[in-house]
Structure 1
Amino acid sequence: MGAEILFVDDNRLILEIAKDLFLERGVSILTACNAAEALELFQEKEIAVVVSDNHMPGMSGLEFLSALKEISPETIKVLMSAYADLATALAAINSSEVFRYLLKPWNEEEVIEVVEEGVRRYHLMNTVRREDDNVLRSLAQTIELKDPSTRGHCDRVAIYALKIAEYMRLPKEVQRQIKYGSWLHDCGKIGISEFILNGERTLTDEEFETMKMHAVWGADVAAKAELSAVARNIIQYHHEKYNGTGYPDGLSGTGIPLEARIVAVADVYDALTMDRPYRKGYPVPEAREIIRRQGGIDLDPEVVEIFLSVVDKEQIPLAKENQEEIGLVLSHERGTPHPHGGATA
């Protein structure tokens, strides 16, 4: 199903009029009687244009559209009001990124024209974003060329992270940004030499400190590229640990952004199951046990349980057989030098 049009108004008669107006043109729209009901629809639907009344019980239309900046920033936002309130109109445009401000009672042709223009604008942005998908994914693959042992790592992390996000029923736009952040979570490694990345030896303290900087460098690149806060959080914080011993900022628990906690689990799991210069990948049962043990230590325990349940359900093949010791591996994968060399910090 394609992107939808949503009208939000506490007056059910207004919603019925809107339905009839668009049905005459062969278009079925979604409706909601308040902001809370509308926000639930954003969990399940891709919504191109939302037209919201301002004066509603509970969350006002202006507050609702402001909330959408994080939940679904691509949605084209139209605010309606029965009052010619210049201050509200300016606030809507400045703080909520509202596309148009309409007065009630509305002019039917104006409403149709604004919505149709909004839909066109939405699809144009999506076309640009699809081109960005190719650019971002290509960048991730270019970064992986610096370390051949990580080939396909970013794609797999994105797949695993999205399975968690889907299970948690995060908004579609947040899932999209998690995909971008997963692709680019190691983009800061573009500035790290292959000598450090590919070494089959223990890193010096100085080399390890350089390795850890990739999270900050990557986040800086993402900020300059104007990527979303969700994607930037993943790039900067995917090496933070649940117990506060990670980097770069020593965040802990739920102080670590959720999207970073999700990608951390996916990142560690994929690193465990893939061959690296200093060891073979671990078979699924051992990798699962390592991940399970790290719930509440390095990794968010709730995200770990969700991920393991998804792996069980989907039967995702992740690992190759090996007979290596596993006791020291996880500390290495999460940013500690491995005693036998190399690093994937």
Structure 2
Amino acid sequence: MKELQEKASILVVDDEEEICYLLQDVLEQEGYLVKTAARGKEAIEMASKEFFNLAIVDLKMPGIWGMEVVKALKDINPHTLIIINTAYASIDTAIEAVRQGAYDFIKKPFKMEEMILTIKNGIEKQRLALENNRLLQKVQDLYFGSLSALAATIDAKNVHTTKHSERVCKYAVSIAQELGLHEEEKVILEHACKLHDIGKIGIPDSILVKPGKLTPEEWQKVREHPVIGADILNSSGFLKELIPLVKYHHERYDGSGYPDGLKGEDIPKKARIIGLADAFEAMTSDRPYRKAFSKEEALEQIKANIKTQFDPQIADVLLSFSKHLT
């Protein structure tokens, strides 16, 4: 990660050349990589092209005010630490600086020893935080990978559902693409698709692999899997954004679904997408009690159940690119 580079990089933003030169000279002797900018606009452009561990920002500069620079730098990279360095200090200004995400506030004229100590403490704190985040992400990735493998194993228990979740992902992401969902939302959707049936781990194999039609009692047991899946994800502590998608992917647009009988817009949008993708995949796959529908037959079923089972907008999107479905 760039954020964990061996030498920390610092951006000095000040319209006083003497301060820029002084800080650059001293901080480079301290082992930092230092660049300077005399204007806020220049600083923002530099930060958009490379990562800086820390920025020292003057408030009163020509053009863009320093506080706007602080906000822009934090928007570009939230990990960048900001030290406000100004002769125009006040309690209100300090409060606003912290609100905008500044790490510390040093009044001009400053003592170089204080500046160096503040920078060292900040960058060490940042390094530990970034390292902790990286380790946490590694743990999360391993956990999610384990759950995904388990979900795939559940699919593989029955010859008719092998790679079911994989195909649901493909259809759901295609729908999301057409709906214009942001990349982050599509990633969440894809993760939820992979785990949407994870709750079936709590359903007896005798039901999951039964070669014939299920009894009403067995169907009732199967209907428990969204809640079981949500409980599994809830125990992780870091997959919470997936919980409502897993829990509600069997809700129906008219409120006749399960587990909570949610209706229309009360069902999370991404859960509505998964519900449609799941139903289409199920209809076009063999089941012990029936042969797979043709694509055309499945699409007719979707048309017939718009506004009852399926969200009209999402169903229309699927129907609009159905000729590309395989």
Output the CA distance in 2 between the equivalents of 1:214 and 1:240.
13
Unaligned runs of 5+ in 2: 4-38, 53-64, 85-92, 109-114
Residue-by-residue CA offset, 1:12-48 (whole Å, 9 max, x unaligned): x52422323676xx669xxxxxxxxxxxxxxxxxxxx
Output the CA distance in 2 between the equivalents of 1:79 and 1:290.
55
Look up the match of 1:294: 305
**CA deviation after TM superposition for structure 1 residue 205, in Å:** 3.2
- Per the normalisation by structure 2, the TM-score is 0.65
**CA deviation after TM superposition for structure 1 residue 141, in Å:** 1.0
1:316 lines up with 2:325 in the alignment: yes
1:195 lines up with 2:206 in the alignment: yes
Residue aligned with 2:103, SS: strand
Look up the match of 2:268: 257
Output the CA distance in 2 between the equivalents of 1:293 and 1:263.
18
- Per the normalisation by structure 1, the TM-score is 0.62
Look up the match of 2:186: 175
Name the aligned partner's letter for residue 44 of structure 2. Answer: A
**CA deviation after TM superposition for structure 1 residue 139, in Å:** 1.6
Name the aligned partner's letter for residue 311 of structure 1. Answer: S
Look up the match of 1:154: 165
**CA deviation after TM superposition for structure 1 residue 229, in Å:** 3.4
Look up the match of 1:18: 44
Look up the match of 1:326: none
Residue aligned with 1:248, SS: coil
C-alpha contact 2:213 2:289 (8 A) present in aligned 1: no
C-alpha contact 1:185 1:238 (8 A) present in aligned 2: yes
Query: Per the alignment, do residues 213 and 21 of structure 1 end up closer, same or farther by CA in structure 2, a change over 3 Å counting?
Result: closer
1:84 lines up with 2:97 in the alignment: no
**CA deviation after TM superposition for structure 1 residue 301, in Å:** 0.9
CA RMSD of aligned residues (A): 4.2
Name the aligned partner's letter for residue 14 of structure 1. Answer: G
C-alpha contact 1:269 1:287 (8 A) present in aligned 2: yes
C-alpha contact 1:237 1:256 (8 A) present in aligned 2: yes
Residue-by-residue CA offset, 1:207-234 (whole Å, 9 max, x unaligned): 2221111111110001002243331112
Look up the match of 1:270: 281
Residue-by-residue CA offset, 1:133-179 (whole Å, 9 max, x unaligned): 53232121121133231000001111111112222232222211211
Residue aligned with 1:225, SS: coil
Answer with 1 or 2: which has the greater Rg. 2
Look up the match of 2:103: 101
Output the CA distance in 2 between the equivalents of 1:275 and 1:229.
33
Structure number with higher relative contact order (C-alpha < 8 Å, ≥ 6 residues apart): 1
Unaligned runs of 5+ in 1: 4-12, 29-52, 66-74, 93-97, 318-345
Q: More deviation in 76-85 or 191-200?
A: 76-85
Name the aligned partner's letter for residue 260 of structure 1. Answer: A
Query: Per the alignment, do residues 27 and 221 of structure 1 end up closer, same or farther by CA in structure 2, a change over 3 Å counting?
Result: closer
Name the aligned partner's letter for residue 310 of structure 1. Answer: F
C-alpha contact 1:78 1:102 (8 A) present in aligned 2: no
Query: Per the alignment, do residues 269 and 104 of structure 1 end up closer, same or farther by CA in structure 2, a change over 3 Å counting?
Result: farther
Residue-by-residue CA offset, 1:252-309 (whole Å, 9 max, x unaligned): 0000001100100100000010111111111111111111222211011111111222
Name the aligned partner's letter for residue 309 of structure 1. Answer: S
Look up the match of 1:303: 314
Look up the match of 1:7: none
Output the CA distance in 1 between the equivalents of 2:195 and 2:47.
44
Name the aligned partner's letter for residue 248 of structure 1. Answer: P
From 230, 233, 236, give the equivalent of 1:222: 233
Look up the match of 1:208: 219
Output the CA distance in 1 between the equivalents of 2:176 and 2:46.
36
Output the CA distance in 2 between the equivalents of 1:234 and 1:283.
27
Output the CA distance in 2 between the equivalents of 1:87 and 1:126.
30
